[in-house]
Amino acid sequence: MILLDRVSKTYNRGLGPSLDRISLHVEAKEFVIVVGQSGAGKTTLLRLLTREERPTSGKIIIGGIDYDKLRDKDIPLLRRKIGVVFQDFKLLPNKNVFENVAFALEIVGVSNKEIKHTVPKVLEIVNLTGKEKRMPMELSGGERQRVAIARAIVRQPRILIADEPTGNLDPKHAWDVIKVLEKINRYGTTVLLTTHNVEVVNKLKRRVVTLQNGKVVSDRANADYKI
Amino acid sequence: MKRKWITFLRIIHTGIVNFIRNLSLAVAAIAVMVVTLTIVLFSVIANATFTNTIASITNRIDISVYLKDTNTEVQNQNLVSKITKLPNTKSVQYLDKKTALQRYINQNAGNQALLIAVSQTNNPIPATILVKPNDLNRIQDLKTFLSSTDNKALQSDEASYSGDRKQAIDKITGATNTLRKIGVTAVAIFTVICALIIFNTIQMAIFNRRDEITIMRLLGAKTSYIRGPFIVESAIYGILAAVLSLLIINGLFLASNNALQATSLGLLDINYASTFFSENFWKLLGLQLMVGTIIGVVSSVIATRRYLKFKTK
């Protein structure tokens, strides 16, 4: 489902690479946690997967799409296949909860009728029923993160990428978010999660990929947090 | 097709909703557009008024060709028909000796001494051909025609396009040309300034919402879907600004109508401005809408472009 072959990314030649010849293979329906200290390259890795950045070298293939052959005009189509939960939520400030989630469906031309049917269901999954009309500014951090998750999953993507989705949340809300991700994974979505949260990693008991100075230093199944 | 139609309607709807939700930003942008469009509209009206004034001045200028008393009527009529056929001739009026005298008396109605002197002599006024040219700049053609030996033989005196009158005509011609150029340049300059100010305003408004564009991009929205609502929003700015600026000018004309009628500014026909405005109201509205919308749309297309680019390195 996700294949990285000796991928490197260098922003500034003087500072060395942010990612150094990373190779990673994630199977369909897998739940993979990427851990590492700040600056280890976790966010760079996710930015490469969403094609916000291009690798300096190496090959990336996601869901059969070879990034080398991807034209600019096809990037939106790629992003529609991947659900992304950003650490800073990235909610549209001028849209309410319902509209933020609906936006993901609107851009692919889903009918209003279907949107009205689907969005409430997804909001129910993330426990946001009744808050449809709230604007992002009126929500707590946890609620905003759950809106972001709802938006990422509403199109039922085959791959969900979550960049430190618990980073800004207290333990209770953090665990709520993780439970949603687990639920989505059970429905068949491949999940790639980056986190700092030791407790989350240890409780989940999933495959853990550890990054350090831009390199994969360990890749273990059913693992604990260990750096 | 159905999907495209849904997307199109969504873009319009989102543009309108965004306009309402960003009203404070919209008010600032529209205010700037109203001021600039009003200036452009004002300069267009001022230019039209100047042009009209110039036209009415040049319309009053004619060239008098004085004919010898010894000419036969046939000779005079021949000359009239030849002048009529000249390309730069707008109109020709032939005054026989009697009519020319009557005209002279009318023109000098206030000068009793002169009128008495005239009445005591046998009609001293020659038959006259009054020629109005199409273009004062090409008056030389007429002069050349009248200076030819055959035609000169029929004239009792130099045509009135000479001496002081020549200087006056030349001065007016020079002035009208300069004024026309100034008018057109002013309108062009104001339009360019207006376009730049509006472009800057819309660019600022979009700069404030650049994160929104980036987020939409990350979610997989196509360029047209992201840009569309911004274009709709900017078009609304343009339409409202155009209508408001026209209403402002209209209000100004209504408010100052009486004052303008009482004001005399020499040759400048200020009332024409009001007439021009009301006669061309729909044309001006269309022009304003076009300028406002086009500048708004082009500005938003350019301003969103930089936030829509994909990284290439």
- Read off the pLDDT of each residue in B82-99 and give the average, rounded to a whole number: 86
What is the distance between the alpha carbons of residues B26 and A188, in angstroms, rounded to a whole number?
A: 45
Do A180 and A105 share a structural domain? Answer: yes
Just give the CATH number of B68-155. 3.30.70.3040
Do A61 and A109 share a structural domain? Answer: no
Range of the domain at A21: 1-25+57-65
User: Is there a contact between A90 and B220 if contact means CB atoms under 8 Å apart?
Assistant: no
User: For residue A130, what pLDDT band results from cuts at 50, 70 and 90?
Assistant: very high
Best of B22, B216, B217, B219 to disrupt the A interface (most A CBs within 10 Å) is B219
User: Is there a contact between A90 and B221 if contact means CB atoms under 8 Å apart?
Assistant: no
Number of domains in chain A: 2
pTM value is 0.71
Each residue's pLDDT tens digit, A19-76: 999 999 999 999 999 998 888 888 899 999 999 889 999 999 998 889 888 888 889 9
Do A61 and A115 share a structural domain? Answer: no
CB nearest to A94's CB, from B22, B218, B310: B22
Among A10, A43, A65, give the residue marking a domain's end: A65
Six token digits for residue B106: 């009318």
Do A108 and A7 share a structural domain? Answer: no
User: Is there a contact between A80 and B3 if contact means CB atoms under 8 Å apart?
Assistant: no
> Which residue's entry shows tokens 């200087």?
B167
Burial status of residue B120 (CB atoms within 10 A of its CB: 0-12, 13-18, 19 or more): exposed
CA-nearest residue to A109 within chain B is: B3
Confirm whether A223 is domain-assigned: no
The arrangement of strands across the sheet holding A207-212 comes to A82-85, A159-163, A190-195, A31-35, A207-212, A215-220
DSSP-based three-state secondary structure for B38: helix
- 3-class DSSP string for A76-112: HHHHHHEEEECCCCCCCCCCCHHHHHHHHHHCCCCCH
Q: Is the pLDDT of residue A209 over 90?
A: yes
The CATH number assigned to the domain holding A82 equals: 3.40.50.300
Do A179 and A104 share a structural domain? Answer: yes
Q: What residue segments make up the domains of chain B, in order of their start?
A: 2-57+173-308, 68-155
Are the C-beta atoms of A137 and A93 separated by less than 8 Å?
A: yes
Confirm whether A163 is domain-assigned: yes
Do A183 and A94 share a structural domain? Answer: yes
CB nearest to A53's CB, from B6, B209, B311: B311
Confirm whether A18 is domain-assigned: yes
Confirm whether A96 is domain-assigned: yes
Do A183 and A111 share a structural domain? Answer: yes
Q: Is the pLDDT of residue B164 over 60?
A: no
User: For residue B240, what pLDDT band results from cuts at 50, 70 and 90?
Assistant: very high
Each residue's pLDDT tens digit, A97-128: 999 999 999 988 888 999 999 999 999 988 89
Do A18 and A104 share a structural domain? Answer: no
Confirm whether A133 is domain-assigned: yes
Do A61 and A112 share a structural domain? Answer: no
- Nearest residue to A142 via CA among A165, A119, A121: A165
